[in-house]
Amino acid sequence: MTNTISILGSTGSIGRQTLDVAEQLGLRVAALTANSSAERMEEQARRFRPRLAVLTDESAARDLAVRLADTDTRVSGGFAALEEAATLAEADTVVTAVVGMVGLKPTLAAIREKKRIALANKETLVCAGQLVMDAADRYGAEIVPVDSEHSAIFQCVQGCADRGEIKRLILTCSGGPFYGMTYDEVGRMTKADALKHPNWKMGPKITVDCATLMNKGLEVIEAMRLYRLPLRQVDVVIHRQSIVHSLVEYRDGAVLAQLGTPDMRLPIRYAMTYPNRGENPAEPLDLLACPPLTFAAPDREAFPCLRLAEEAASQGGTACAILNGANEEAVRLFLADRIGFHDIPRLVEKARGEVPVVQNPALEEILAADRAARRAVLGK
Ligand code: NDP
Ligand code: MG
């Protein structure tokens, strides 16, 4: 059970919900970080009184220092300060809720300090899953997933002493806002259409990833890394209602699932209270009021990002870092209205074709693959 947390990315969707949970559970907060949201960070710092508040954007950090001058919170700026926030002695758990590969180095730093990692930042595991999991084993740091599917799986494997008993992980996928459309219909969708997710309210990057199904592709890789399973043991099914959060099929044919309302505060809370649970003030799941639960196969023709992610997963090495770096950059361009929806898979495929894959990469090679993929997307 967690007593004190630090949150990397506290001003975002997961970060804010983590603070709600911290308040409910009476947790202390040691450090909060964000990129540039000074005003929101000021509110959070006044409410939760962390020892350290970090904004990676230096000029926003100077603004924050002025805003918090009358408090006991110390303010730091720049990327190195993220690592300081991730390693403060008093925090037993670090919630990684930043978006993107930028979460990798601070996550590794927190692991070296044996913190529990409540991991939302899936890009870290996609790019450097082997390194992160090996470091967690070496330092004895627990990694508890926050992503709802991986939390569901984590809950369904409690009590499973031998991972060899697992036949298959089945990740559920809402299908996103463009479910049921053909490839051509999907290509006509705009940014405003992509930002309307049917069941979850999330940050813009992951919302676009849900529309392309890249999110599910990243989650397939995340599940492979967390549970050290090959691609053939990780499946995806479309489940529009987002009630069954994922399933584990065992060798004897038993299939275990975790169900709940679509509310990220439940997996966030479990990452704090694990291995215990405790009372949750949220509305309970009412099975009799649920819509019928349906399951279908994903359409990899209409949504090529899922296929591209699975191809990178089976290639291994730096292929997933290339996939992720290209996708982060392409989604950034899409959100800036500079490319269309189908340009996202096109640019990811281009980067995958241009950047050579290195097997068993060291951290520096992963970071270099990420940079090369971004350059390939930008045509530099
Ligand atoms: P948001 O965009 O809502 O929030 C991102 C947070 O990270 C903000 O605090 C932001 O600060 C900070 N941040 C962004 N860029 C940088 C940077 N370059 N350096 C430092 N900090 C940065 O994202 P979400 O909360 O939606 O997602 C966070 C992570 O959790 C992602 O990896 C996502 O895939 C994963 N996740 C999210 C889910 C959800 O429901 N939202 C569900 C499952 C997983 P600022 O406000 O200053 O920009
Ligand atoms: Mg998820």
12 pocket-lining for ligand 1 (C-beta < 6 Å): yes
Q: What is the pLDDT at residue 196? A: 87
pLDDT at 70 over 90: yes
Q: What is the pLDDT at residue 322? A: 98
pLDDT in tens, 234-255: 999 999 999 999 999 999 999 9
Q: What is the pLDDT at residue 79? A: 95
pLDDT at 192 over 90: yes
37 pocket-lining for ligand 1 (C-beta < 6 Å): yes
pLDDT in tens, 104-134: 999 999 999 999 999 999 999 999 999 999 9
**Which ligand 1 atom is at minimum distance from the Cα of 37?**
47
Q: What is the pLDDT at residue 380? A: 80
- What's the whole-number mean pLDDT along residues 275-303? 96
Residue of minimum CA distance from atom 23 in ligand 1: 203
pLDDT at 268 over 80: yes
**Which ligand 1 atom is at minimum distance from the Cα of 218?**
34
**Which ligand 1 atom is at minimum distance from the Cα of 121?**
32
107 pocket-lining for ligand 1 (C-beta < 6 Å): no
- What's the whole-number mean pLDDT along residues 82-89? 98
206 pocket-lining for ligand 1 (C-beta < 6 Å): yes
- The band of 100, judged by pLDDT with boundaries at 50, 70 and 90, is very high
pLDDT in tens, 207-244: 999 999 999 999 999 999 999 999 999 999 999 999 99
pLDDT at 201 over 90: no
**Which ligand 1 atom is at minimum distance from the Cα of 123?**
32
- The band of 199, judged by pLDDT with boundaries at 50, 70 and 90, is confident
Measured between alpha carbons, how far is residue 101 from residues 125, 126, 185, 320 in Å?
A: 9, 9, 31, 12
Q: What is the mean pLDDT of the chain?
A: 97
199 pocket-lining for ligand 1 (C-beta < 6 Å): no
**Which ligand 1 atom is at minimum distance from the Cα of 35?**
47
- The band of 90, judged by pLDDT with boundaries at 50, 70 and 90, is very high
Closest ligand, as measured to the CA of 105: 1
97 pocket-lining for ligand 1 (C-beta < 6 Å): yes
pLDDT in tens, 347-374: 999 999 999 999 999 999 999 999 999 9
Judged on CB neighbours under 10 Å (0-12, 13-18, 19+), 195 is middle
331 pocket-lining for ligand 1 (C-beta < 6 Å): no
36 pocket-lining for ligand 1 (C-beta < 6 Å): yes
- Please give the distance, rounded to the nearest whole angstrom, from the Cα atom of residue 264 to the centre of ligand 2: 9
Least confident piece of the model among 14-18, 156-160, 197-201: 197-201
299 pocket-lining for ligand 1 (C-beta < 6 Å): no
**Which ligand 1 atom is at minimum distance from the Cα of 206?**
34
In the chain, the percentage of residues whose pLDDT exceeds 90 is 97
**Which ligand 1 atom is at minimum distance from the Cα of 202?**
41
pLDDT in tens, 301-313: 999 999 999 999 9
Closest ligand, as measured to the CA of 327: 1
pLDDT at 198 over 80: no
Q: What is the pLDDT at residue 43? A: 98
* Residue among 6, 35, 94, 226 whose CB has most ligand 1 atoms within 8 A, to mutate: 35
- Please give the distance, rounded to the nearest whole angstrom, from the Cα atom of residue 171 to the centre of ligand 2: 9
In the chain, the percentage of residues whose pLDDT exceeds 70 is 100
pLDDT at 61 over 90: yes
Q: Please, which residues bridge with residue 28 across strands? A: 4
- What's the whole-number mean pLDDT along residues 316-338? 98
Q: What is the pLDDT at residue 197? A: 76
* Residue among 20, 98, 153, 269 whose CB has most ligand 1 atoms within 8 A, to mutate: 98
pLDDT at 200 over 90: no
- Please give the distance, rounded to the nearest whole angstrom, from the Cα atom of residue 152 to the centre of ligand 1: 21
